A and B are shown apart, each in its own frame.
Chain A
């Protein structure tokens, strides 16, 4: 069975700083997908970034980038130039390649950006 672990329940940084959220996972699958979802307070869950396991290149989306270490089963999210609007719960999630529905979720990291 797959598991996803986020070891940081809560983090806070000053606006404009860079912050890295950690995520590790356990799987025997070779082909899978990893996601970071963001859930702002009282707002809907949105996808921040996705990574296909077969791709060696780390995914980036504007200020968001990942450090995907397949051998170490690590998938951290880096937020550069953090903004107040980045304050949210961040969930790491795993999905097998041949799955058409099941996301395995981490427990989440509450990120607070301080002005």
Chain B
């Protein structure tokens, strides 16, 4: 089945130690998103790629970076995690056409713990 895969599902890191989360998709979608979701809150969009074009949300901290080496993979790098960065990180994809075909498909998420 076509899907969005996130690895690892659970990640523990130390305060200030860089960490990378990965996302892959078999849907061949143009757009890939990274969201941060804190407990019982709505997802907050960090950035997205439309093909190779990177789009950063204005309030995304510089501590968060992303890479998309090819259509299938996208990475979230947190350069110096702080305690406030502990959250669920969701990857999503969409076709990229405007309108109804821009339904977003989500991965299972990576829960990040910062010690």
Contact = CB atoms under 8 A, between A and B. Distances in A.
A33 B98 CA distance: 10
Contact of A43 (B31, B33, B108): B108
Interface residues of B, number: 26
A85 B41 CA distance: 20
A102 B102 CA distance: 10
A97 to B, nearest CB: 6
B98 to A, nearest CB: 5
B96 A100 contact: yes
B48 interface: yes
Given A101-B31, A101-B94, A44 B42 contact: no
Contacts of A43: 108
A interface residue count range (under 10 / 10 to 19 / 20 to 34 / 35 or more): 20 to 34
Contact of B98 (A50, A91, A100, A107): A100
Contact of B106 (A46, A89, A95, A105): A46
Nearest to A100: B98
Interface of B: 31, 33, 40-43, 45, 48, 50, 55, 90, 92, 94, 96-100, 102-109
